[in-house]
Structure 1
Amino acid sequence: MKNILKNEYDLQQIRISGKITANVLEMIKPYIIPDISTKDIDDICHNYIINVKKAIPACLGYNNFPKSICISVNDVVCHGIPNKKLFLKNGDIVNIDVSVIKNNYYTDASKMFLVGSVNKKNKLLCQITRNSLYLSLKCIKHGAKINKIGQIIQKYVEKNKFSVVKEYCGHGIGKNFHELPYILHFYNKNDHTIMQKGMVFTIEPMVNEKSSSIKCMKDGWTVKTQDGGLSSQYEHTIVVTSTGCEIITHQKNEKIPKIFINT
């Protein structure tokens, strides 16, 4: 367990990386408009990460992923590949997933963007997803059970008549893109892992409008809902503290604190 607990130097570097990841999501917002291609969005983010922030886009080349960020539109659950032929339309909901490496440390975050005028139900899907992540942060602290995160997310999402994707989970992160512990977004009574101060991991619930069933497309990356219903995701990288947690990828205008005290 010791090798997944981060020391103060690790945390300093992870905070620097996390600030860049957050900055990318802040920077790209004005560009999420009708008629822009997802390739153009990727190009803007790539240039910003490389040339402005002097960092590395973690997705580019990861298991042969061809682009610098993931862009998942409407019924795409995750890992959407930016494409010069895919243009955003008025009413779309879009997830942009950003991972960067700075000084050999990884961080990871994603959020939903609304394109033009989006209908109430699709806005609600995004709000419920974001709220489920925010609610789960209130249970995080040294000594708490890690399966409480998934329990809170699943209960809240299903109470609001949506469904949680179970095939993908959050993960430890630091000098590697994916480390222990795994963070399920549904309740697993058999997971007895205890949160410890210095754990750094992502929480990234994927929530579907209809069924939770998904399918992977022929490109080997793009994951869509089985029934064509829309999907939404929010993600933060967080560190467990003795009294709660710190959101490493906290962004401007978020209506939650960067530091949670959960006593």
Structure 2
Amino acid sequence: MGIPLFKGTEVERLRVAGLAAAGTLAHVAGKLQPGVTTADIDAWVREDTARRGGTPSQLGYKGFPATVCTSRNHVVCHGIPRQDEHLKSGDIVNVDVTTCLDGFHGDTSATFLIGEVSSDAKHVVDVARRCRDAGVAVVRHGARLGDIGAAVMALAKAEGCSVVEEFGGHGIGRQMHGPPHVSHVGKAGTGITLRSGMVITIEPMVNLGRPDIRLMPDGWTVVTADGSLSAQFEHTVLVTRDGCEVLTPGELSLHVAHGC
């Protein structure tokens, strides 16, 4: 399957879907506090996505049982929301929202700090956010896919963190997941050449410890093999002639200071 190039009204529809996903993530961010369950987050995503006229892309995808991934502390990705999983002061939690609207998908995530967190937690969250931004910064027409992974990996290594190799970003548009695979480890100047009109996600998973991971028995939840903290941030990005356009923009307050 080739990599689609989007233009005209398709790009506008991608913008609308991206803004919807970013809006839902911001809506959830404003409701997080100690005592909230990850099932509450699932319900909020379901309700807010519907309010914006969309549907949750993740629900039922390859059998995934929820509308959102909620990945807490040492969970790297694909955490399944649960009624018995409560956020506590000191936790970090990634909320990964994907919205389908008018036939196009927008995908975004952020990791939030709940209450009083450790310096290690602050560090891995900060590094993960900056790694995403470093990957976004090299995207432009004519760049190579390996440039993204090289930028992410260099920053994580300089900060004493590691990058998960088994999972990466992806093409997105009329499908939630499509080509190309966007590795967050790589060598600059290698891989396919990016072209204006491509739409990809950049979503590095950064571990405080080693990059090794393991899959839990539920078949979805991925955790760090050494139990170390993991954080992730994600944007959907349109490649342009002059650089790129972030289709899931928005300033989020990552530190949830209040409690119940």
Is the shorter-chain TM-score for this pair beyond 0.5, marking a shared fold? yes
CA–CA distance in 1 between the matches of 2:228 and 2:252? 29
* Residue matched to 1:8: 8
* Residue matched to 2:256: none
Give yes or no for contact 1:58–1:100 (8 Å, CA) kept in 2.
yes
TM-score normalised over the length of structure 2? 0.94
* Residue matched to 1:18: 18
State the one-letter code of the partner of 1:74: N
* Residue matched to 1:102: 101
SS in 2 for 1:99: strand
- Which 5+ residue runs of structure 2 have no aligned equivalent? 254-260
SS in 2 for 1:143: coil
- Counterpart mapping for 1:60-139 below 5 A: 60-139=59-138
Give yes or no for contact 1:4–1:179 (8 Å, CA) kept in 2.
no
Give yes or no for contact 1:94–1:113 (8 Å, CA) kept in 2.
yes
CA deviations on 1:167-201 (whole Å, 9 max, x unpaired) are: 00100000011111211101147943101000000
Give yes or no for contact 1:112–1:126 (8 Å, CA) kept in 2.
yes
SS in 2 for 1:134: helix
Indicate whether 1:181 and 2:180 are aligned: yes
* Residue matched to 2:34: 34
SS in 2 for 1:4: coil
CA deviations on 1:54-75 (whole Å, 9 max, x unpaired) are: 1000011111111100000000
Aligned residues: 253
Give yes or no for contact 1:213–1:225 (8 Å, CA) kept in 2.
yes
- Counterpart mapping for 1:163-202 below 5 A: 163-188=162-187, 191-202=190-201
* Identity over aligned pairs, percent: 37
CA RMSD in angstroms comes to: 1.5
State the one-letter code of the partner of 2:196: K
- Point out 4+ residue stretches in structure 1 off by more than 3 angstroms: 188-191
State the one-letter code of the partner of 2:65: P
CA deviations on 1:197-228 (whole Å, 9 max, x unpaired) are: 00000000000010101001111000000111
TM-score normalised over the length of structure 1? 0.93
CA–CA distance in 1 between the matches of 2:139 and 2:31? 34
* Residue matched to 2:249: 250
* Highest RCO, 1 vs 2 (Cα 8 Å, sep ≥ 6): 2
- Which 5+ residue runs of structure 1 have no aligned equivalent? 255-263
